[in-house]
Structure 1
Amino acid sequence: MNKIQTHSGRHFTLILFFVVLLPCLVVGDCTCEKEDDTGDKGLAEKYKVAALVSILFASAIGVTLPMLGKTFPALHPEKDLFFIVKAFAAGVILSTGFIHVLPDAFEKLTSPCLSDHPWGDFPFAGFVAMLAAIGTLMIDSLATAYFKKSSVSEKDAVVDEEEQVGGHDMHVHTHATHGHAHGSIPSPSTDLLRHRVISQVLELGIVVHSVIIGISLGASESPDTIRPLIAALTFHQFFEGMGLGGCISQAKFKTKSVIIMALFFSLTTPVGIAIGMGITSSYRENSQRALIVEGILNAASAGILIYMSLVDLLAADLMSPKVQASGKLQLGVNAFLLFGAGCMSLLAKWA
């Protein structure tokens, strides 16, 4: 399990490095006329600060709620309410990928500003999203297999050492322990490893598009653009946080890792807004470099989110014995899945 914790630390280091480098990648010369922003820049700054605070609190509350299973028994991962809330959040994440992130990637990579660039001759947004989904599947499978083999190898090494040291009685006792250990591997330990991989990969996909959203909002100087985004993104981050928080709570990380993951999610969009505010004068959303970088990252994020929501969140829960055994719970899970996807899709009108 220490290897898993080390992997988690490296994962967050990579995200931090990525967050620091992103603003440098999207700053460039404008090659297409930038749309004029109308409105009071002072008022826009106030809206940005309000958005930063609102989104920060919504993200923190959303990602924390599912982790309070011990405090609120109704939110325990084995309760019906947990499955229903998680289905709603998964619907939000699925809609985010299909309705918000992927169309934005297509818009960026098919922009008229790229008409004289090779990127305009191929549907790179769909291609990158497909590669991201396939890559997520491979990482999901390989990481789970690796950690599972490591866990089995460690248990076998302990058993072999005990058999060599002990006598006949110890051998009999160890043999029974050995059989018990192997019997427990397929269910709890494998599920735990899966939840840990799922939570980390899902957070990676969420963090990527959250930073881009934050930078775009922070760089905008139009109050008319920012105002509707405040409520829309607050709702978005709250329920997206609930989906991620549910995965983290099922992964049973150590307290330190849970705090780090929750902080990363809560801070990414506000940090993106702060970065956007800092680079307002040099950020050109219609520059070729910005369009290509944001388009690729959005497409990759969409592929990750779509795969994770369908395969690791929804399929895993809908096919679980608990949901399969209860028609009432099946109805509730499916209804709230559609409700979450519908609510998030509706937000596309404003965000």
Structure 2
Amino acid sequence: MQVIVARAISMLALGIGSFIAGMLPTCFSERTRQSHPLIISCLLCFGGGVLLSTSLVHMLPETREKLPEYSELMLCIGFFTVYLVDELSHLFVKRNNHSHEVPGVGERSSLLAREREDGEMRERHDGGSELCHVSHTEPCNRSASGVIGLLSALFVHSVLEGLAIGLQENVTQILLLFAAVASHKFVVGFCLGAELCENFPSRMCTHVICVTLFSMGSVVGIGVGAGLETVSQLKDSAAVPVMQGLAAGTLLYVTVSEVLPRERARWHERRRDAGLMQFISVGLGFVLMYLTTKYLDHDAD
């Protein structure tokens, strides 16, 4: 097999496979989401564990290899950058832009059901003196900055991984690196699709556009790495670890400030065992991505 054929196979497989993985969550109908909301929440928590592991176990060590003195600083800068963008979006976006939005039929029914459950739980806990460590109010989801930050971080990471594949000159190394990238890229793509379904439940066009951008990241990276010889100099420059570190901080913010707090607040008072099920889901996602990164990526290296 020629090198150009191996690169082409990697481009097609990563692009199509990532798109399919990102679109899989849309197969869950609105009725299914309303009938089994805790299962959907556990899937989102599983995605949070995957993103957390991707940030701290996969991307941060890669940053530390080439930028040992400033890797944690780059992660923190990425974290605070998305934090700032999130707060600025809430500051400058007028409230009346959201007050006139009319939810769809499925959204209205789910909102009414949620309000009834919340009302029952408030009545049940009124007058109590129990001190709880979990906020029962969901984080504000009126801003799309979290999803945009998540998509941007995953796109940058996908481009860099594709760039590494495109720079390889040996068929065996290309295929090994492709297998390592695909093993976690498809899982991350599914998690991205689940988050898009949660934030944009009735916007299929938005979902398709975001998943397409994510899927094209590796394709663009492979194409650029294979087409330009001067890109090989970029591989050893400080730009790559800086972008990796910033992307890692972005994923960390989205996970610990949006995904996990939202799901914990949504279910903490509804079922006593919901928190434990969510914790197990986060742990499974983290362990799966950790094992994938440790063994498959190590073999590729």
Work out whether the TM-score is over 0.5: yes
Q: Considering only CA atoms, is the larger Rg found in Structure 1 or Structure 2?
A: 1
Q: What is the distance in 1 between the residues matched to 2:24 and 2:34?
A: 10
Q: Aligned match of 1:300 in 224, 243, 246?
A: 246
Q: What is the distance in 2 between the residues matched to 1:274 and 1:97?
A: 25
Aligned length: 260
Decide whether aligned partners of structure 1 residues 77 and 247 sit closer, same or farther in structure 2, where only a CA change above 3 A counts.
Answer: farther
User: Which segment drifts farther, 79-88 or 130-139?
Assistant: 79-88
Decide whether aligned partners of structure 1 residues 46 and 332 sit closer, same or farther in structure 2, where only a CA change above 3 A counts.
Answer: farther
Deviation at 1:151, TM superposition (A): 2.0
- 1:178-197 residue pairs with structure 2 within 5 A? 191-194=140-143, 196-197=144-145
Decide whether aligned partners of structure 1 residues 255 and 340 sit closer, same or farther in structure 2, where only a CA change above 3 A counts.
Answer: closer
Decide whether aligned partners of structure 1 residues 250 and 125 sit closer, same or farther in structure 2, where only a CA change above 3 A counts.
Answer: same
Q: Aligned match of 1:87 in 45, 66, 69?
A: 45
Question: Is 1:147–1:193's contact at 8 Å kept on the other side of the alignment?
Answer: no
Deviation at 1:78, TM superposition (A): 6.5
Gaps of 5+ in 2: 101-138
Deviation at 1:334, TM superposition (A): 1.3
Q: Is residue 319 of structure 1 aligned with residue 237 of structure 2? A: no
Decide whether aligned partners of structure 1 residues 323 and 66 sit closer, same or farther in structure 2, where only a CA change above 3 A counts.
Answer: farther
Q: What is the distance in 1 between the residues matched to 2:36 and 2:87?
A: 25
SS in 2 for 1:221: coil
Deviation at 1:95, TM superposition (A): 0.9
Question: Is 2:193–2:207's contact at 8 Å kept on the other side of the alignment?
Answer: no
Deviation at 1:286, TM superposition (A): 7.2
SS in 2 for 1:327: coil
- 1:1-351 residue pairs with structure 2 within 5 A? 42-70=1-29, 73-75=31-33, 79-110=37-68, 123-151=69-97, 191-194=140-143, 196-252=144-200, 254-279=203-228, 281-284=229-232, 290-320=236-266, 322-348=267-293, 349-351=295-297
The alignment's C-alpha RMSD in Å is 2.8
Q: What is the distance in 2 between the residues matched to 1:302 and 1:98?
A: 7
Question: Is 2:55–2:249's contact at 8 Å kept on the other side of the alignment?
Answer: yes
Structure 1, residues 92-145: CA drift from partner, whole Å, max 9, x if none? 1111111111111111224xxxxxxxxxxxx22221211110111111122134
Q: What is the distance in 2 between the residues matched to 1:256 and 1:227?
A: 33
SS in 1 for 2:232: coil
Structure 1, residues 200-232: CA drift from partner, whole Å, max 9, x if none? 111011111111111111111233433333333
Question: Is 1:248–1:258's contact at 8 Å kept on the other side of the alignment?
Answer: yes
State percent identity of aligned pairs: 21
Gaps of 5+ in 1: 1-41, 111-122, 156-189
Structure 1, residues 262-291: CA drift from partner, whole Å, max 9, x if none? 211111112211221212x3332576xx42
Question: Is 2:183–2:292's contact at 8 Å kept on the other side of the alignment?
Answer: no
SS in 1 for 2:231: coil
Q: What is the distance in 2 between the residues matched to 1:61 and 1:286?
A: 31
Q: What is the distance in 2 between the residues matched to 1:230 and 1:328?
A: 40
Question: Is 2:234–2:240's contact at 8 Å kept on the other side of the alignment?
Answer: no
Question: Is 2:71–2:245's contact at 8 Å kept on the other side of the alignment?
Answer: yes
Q: What is the distance in 2 between the residues matched to 1:65 and 1:286?
A: 35
TM-score, reference length from structure 1 = 0.66
Deviation at 1:191, TM superposition (A): 4.5
Decide whether aligned partners of structure 1 residues 76 and 109 sit closer, same or farther in structure 2, where only a CA change above 3 A counts.
Answer: farther
